[in-house]
Amino acid sequence: MKDGLVIVDKPGGMTSHDVVARLRRLAGTRRVGHAGTLDPMATGVLVIGVEKATRLLGHLALTRKEYEATIRLGQTTVTDDAEGEITAAVPAGAVTREAVDAGIAALTGDIMQVPSKVSAIKVNGVRSYARVRGGEDFELAARPVTVSAFVVRDVRREGDDLVDVDVTVECSSGTYIRALARDLGAGLGVGGHLTALRRTRVGPYGAGLARTLEELAESFAVLPIAEAAAAAFPRWDVDERAARLLGNGVRLDAPPTVGAEPTGVFGPDGRFLALVEGREGQARILANFA
């Protein structure tokens, strides 16, 4: 089995762990892991590492994410999405497109966001969703996130009382799309929750690279580790002597282009050798793949 990433188009109804378990069977190895989870109801891009590429996952700066989502105005749920019980309903039929646009503008840019209570955030060592299930009453602190784009694609009336808003969101890691739905509805005074969510990009890996589990079952292949690393990190090409020294764990003098962020090192044959960071003029090895 080659080392590399698999960009999976996750189906709805499966957890990220379910996808990893399926990939282990398809790949014939236990060395499979994921880089960030998707909720069971969500579909789309899930980055999976196979064999040596599992050591790449923790260094991937997957800070930019893109989603397509549907927000339903007029209902509030306990989970801020369609999987939770409806806790309140306020007719949204009178909500105008102008009001929706104004509400979305207020949630765009650098904002403070209170995560959904059914998130995996730990509160005093206990997952927030576990506290909710236990009936505990608590509040989560707001956190800074960046919503770089929040664009309305369509607005549809669902009967007299509900409005569905299709949106595209580009945001920083740690942003909860469910919380955006909740806060948009709250700002409009009618409540809101998420009814559909599809992730279309994680870092440099977009939906165009993603393959369904059915496609992978028919023909399993990975995105080669060198190609995956070249897409995600700044590149430093070294000669054969430096490649040999790096393979033996020797620190090399770092060029000015190698800074504090991870840099991928490639040999003269294009082989991916290591991830390094610049420190005091030297290239400190973060992970050796030679």
Catalytic annotation present for 39: yes
Instruction: Decide: residue 138, CB within 10 A, 0-12 exposed, 13-18 middle, 19+ buried.
Output: exposed
The token pair at 104 is 């979305």
The token pair at 10 is 């996750």
Fill in the DSSP letter of residue 41: T
pTM of the model: 0.89
Distance CA 122, CA 169 (A): 25
What CA–CA distances, in Å, run from 147 to 47, 100, 143, 226, 240?
A: 21, 16, 13, 31, 44
For residue 183, the SS3 value is helix
Q: Which helix (H) or strand (E) holds 268?
A: none
Q: Which of 193, 41, 9 is nearest to 117 (CA)?
A: 193
Distance CA 136, CA 278 (A): 46
Please report, in tens digits, the pLDDT of each residue of the chain (290 residues total).
588 999 999 999 999 999 999 999 999 999 999 988 888 999 999 999 999 999 999 888 777 999 999 999 999 998 899 988 999 999 999 999 999 999 999 999 999 999 887 666 766 666 666 666 666 666 778 999 999 999 999 999 998 999 999 999 999 988 999 999 999 999 999 999 999 999 999 999 999 999 999 999 999 999 999 999 999 999 999 999 999 998 888 889 999 989 888 999 999 999 999 999 998 889 999 999 87
Choice among 39, 80, 81, 183 that is catalytic: 39
Instruction: Decide: residue 253, CB within 10 A, 0-12 exposed, 13-18 middle, 19+ buried.
Output: exposed
The token pair at 231 is 């897409």
Query: From the CB of residue 214, how many other CB atoms can be counted at a distance below 10 Å?
Result: 9
